[in-house]
């Protein structure tokens, strides 16, 4: 097809369909690249903020975030070069220093797949009290990696726009309305945020 873009993925000749990212082409060919700010669910768009999906592009100095990078004709992409795999492990270690992710979460699953069992980096986040003000969802921002999937789900899929991000630099955090406890916010209790959160920062409360 005229609009398809030929490139190589791990040495294999492939083509990208119009608009596809490297990550999408890799998935189509059975190579799952780690990802967190990209949910992987249909309709979620990549945010490109976590850097867990970086790959090596031959001839480029910097690694490319595969979830937001579109292939160019003739590009040679290595998803698992030593440079890319090491960078992804470092990203994961930094995330684990930033957040106390739940052991059964998507983030913890990726850490296991990547062989990351601990972090070399000092903790950058202190434990925070869990907000249990909502009748069905607990909010533990100690586990938040700021991937913004909950913001996207709330704002773009269910059109509630209750969740946002406030603060800058090391002080940014997820907030409900103008930093209200979740249970006192305008949350409509659809659960889209807890369903997509990859770390256990937003979880459905288990029955006692
Ligand atoms: S609460 Fe969960 S989904 Fe929302 S930004 Fe934090 S880690 Fe991502
Ligand atoms: S999944 Fe690509 S930057 Fe987060």
- Statement: residue 1 has pLDDT above 60: no
Q: Which of 35, 87, 34, 90 is nearest to 62 (CA)?
A: 87
CA dihedral 122→125→129→133, nearest 10 degrees, is -140
User: What is the model's pTM?
Assistant: 0.94
Q: Which ranges of 67-148 does DSSP label H, i.e. alpha helix?
A: 82-98, 106-113
pLDDT of residue 168: 78
- What's the rounded Cα separation, in Å, for the pair 22 and 15? 10
| 36 CA from centroid of ligand 1 (Å) | 10
pLDDT of residue 2: 61
- Long-range Cβ contact pairs of 51-55 (< 8 A, separation 24 or more): 51/87, 51/91, 52/88, 52/91, 52/92, 52/95, 52/110, 53/23, 53/88, 54/84, 54/87, 54/88, 54/91, 55/22, 55/26, 55/79, 55/81, 55/84
pLDDT of residue 3: 87
What is the chain's mean pLDDT, rounded?
94
Summarize the confidence of residues 45-65 as an average pLDDT.
96
Give residue-wise pLDDT tens across range 174-190: 999 999 999 999 999 99
Summarize the confidence of residues 76-92 as an average pLDDT.
98
| 74 CA from centroid of ligand 1 (Å) | 36
What's CA 177's distance to the chain center, in Å?
23
- Statement: residue 83 has pLDDT above 70: yes
For residue 107, the number of C-alpha atoms closer than 13 Å in the C-beta half-sphere is 30
Counting ligand 1 atoms within 8 A of each CB, the residue from 95, 100, 108, 144 with the most, and so the one to mutate, is 144
Give residue-wise pLDDT tens across range 100-148: 999 999 999 999 999 999 999 998 877 789 999 999 999 999 999 999 9
Q: Which domains does the chain have, with CATH numbers?
A: 1-124 (3.10.20.740), 137-204 (3.30.70.20)
- What's the rounded Cα separation, in Å, for the pair 28 and 8? 14
């Amino acid at each position: 097809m005229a609009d398809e873009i030929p490139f190589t993925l791990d040495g294999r000749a492939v083509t990208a369909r119009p608009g596809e990212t490297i990550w999408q082409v890799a998935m189509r060919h059975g190579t799952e690249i780690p990802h967190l700010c990209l949910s992987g669910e249909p309709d979620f768009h990549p945010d490109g903020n976590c850097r867990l999906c970086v790959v090596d592009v031959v001839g480029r100095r910097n690694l490319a975030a595969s979830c937001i990078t579109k292939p160019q004709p003739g590009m040679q992409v290595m998803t698992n070069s030593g440079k890319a795999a090491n960078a992804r492990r470092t990203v994961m270690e930094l995330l684990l220093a930033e957040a106390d992710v739940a052991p059964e979460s998507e983030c913890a699953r990726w850490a296991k797949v990547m062989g990351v069992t601990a972090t070399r980096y000092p903790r950058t986040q202190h434990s925070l009290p869990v907000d249990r003000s909502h009748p069905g969802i607990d909010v533990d921002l100690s586990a938040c990696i700021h991937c913004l999937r909950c913001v996207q789900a709330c704002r773009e899929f269910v059109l509630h726009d209750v969740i946002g991000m406030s603060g800058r630099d090391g002080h940014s955090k997820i907030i409900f309305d103008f930093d209200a406890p979740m249970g006192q916010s305008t949350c409509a209790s659809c659960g889209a945020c807890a369903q997509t959160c990859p770390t256990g920062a937003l979880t459905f409360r288990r029955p006692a």
